[in-house]
Amino acid sequence: MYCVKCGVELSAGQEKCPICETKVYHPDFIADGHETYPKNNTPPDKFERKGLMFIWTAIFLIPFVLCLVCDLSIHDEIVWAGYAMGGIALAYGILALPFWFRHPNPIIFVPCDFAGILLYLLYINLATQGAWFLSFAFPVVGGIGVIVTTVVCLEILLKSKGSLFVYGGATIALGALMVLVEFLVAITFRGGFSKFVWSEYPLISLFIIGMMLIIIGICKPLRSSLKKKFFL
């Protein structure tokens, strides 16, 4: 049985919801003239999506153009504006661009966001004549992108069923990624790898947390008990 207002799971015999204090509706009881379902008299918000998005686009476009004009007026060439404009364009693509679509698909936008981050880092690497993109930025950001995209895809395809297994596996994978990060830092910035110093600590911690989530997902009585106690 669930609360008719906030949807929290209720135990048998409860007369009101412990969260929103709404009176519990029992379908086998005869209504006594009082309303069993709460009325929501608040009118839905109405706004013009395209108009709002044009405003958001202008908010991002103004600093984008200002950075370009200021840099050209001071140096007669692009010196630092590329970094600022790239960051603004990246923020717009991540925060604003999906809202141009009525039903944006995270399976498409999430990997595209990480691809945009990689392009921005590649630009910084080339502009500074660095040598850290392929050996550090690409595998690290790519690994995080794979983990996040996998979690998003599984959540959508499974419709939140088995979320504990998904997040548990992702947590363990993130711990393994920390080992890769330490290895790549040593190879890229320290001239060579000798031994692992700090990565085993997040690996062990995240592995334990991930296994706890998986065990909770396997053990149905434990999962039900946690739902009742923490309203998960």
Q: What is the pLDDT of residue 96?
A: 93
1 has pLDDT over 80: no
> b/e per residue, 141-169, with b = 16+ CB within 10 A?
bebbbebbbebbebbeeeeeeeebbbbbb
199 domain-assigned? yes
Q: Is residue 30 part of a domain?
A: yes
Q: Residue 161 and residue 78: Cα distance in Å, rounded?
A: 50
Mean pLDDT of the chain: 87
Is residue 95 very low, low, confident or very high in pLDDT (cuts 50, 70, 90)? very high
| Residue 110, domain member (yes or no) | no
pTM, 2 dp:
0.76
* Best CA proximity match to 150, nearest among 140, 129, 165: 165
User: What is the arithmetic mean of pLDDT over 185-200?
Assistant: 94
Side chain identity at 117, as an amino acid letter?
I
**Does residue 204 fall inside a structural domain?**
yes
Distances (CA, A) of 102 to 31, 110, 112: 40, 16, 18
Between 23 and 200, the more confident residue is 200
Per-residue pLDDT at 26: 58
Domain that holds residue 150: 132-224
The alpha-carbon radius of gyration of the chain (Å, integer) is: 25
Rounded Cα–Cα distance for residues 115 and 97 (Å): 14
pLDDT at 229 over 90: no
Confidence label for 162 from pLDDT (cuts 50, 70 and 90): confident
Q: What percent of the chain shows pLDDT beyond 90?
A: 66
Tens digit of each residue's pLDDT (9 = 90 or more) over 12-31? 777 777 777 788 765 555 44
Give, for 113, the enclosing helix (H) or strand (E): helix 106-127
Give CA–CA dist 184/191, Å, rounded: 10
Establish if 10 belongs to a structural domain: yes
Q: Which of 96-105, 163-172, 220-229 has the highest mean pLDDT?
A: 163-172
In a domain, 145, yes or no: yes
Please tell me the distance from the alpha carbon of residue 172 to that of residue 183, in angstroms, as a whole number: 18
pLDDT at residue 31, as a whole number: 47
Q: Copy the structure tokens of residue 118.
A: 């990689």
- Position 48 scores a pLDDT of 74
**In contact, 38 and 4? CB cutoff 8 Å:** yes
For residue 196, being part of any structural domain is answered with: yes
**Number of domains present in the structure of the chain:** 2
pLDDT at 113 over 70: yes
What pLDDT is recorded for position 160? Answer: 76
Q: What pLDDT shows up at residue 41?
A: 55
- When pLDDT is cut at 50, 70 and 90, the band that residue 175 belongs to is very high
Tell me, yes or no, whether 160 lies in a domain.
yes
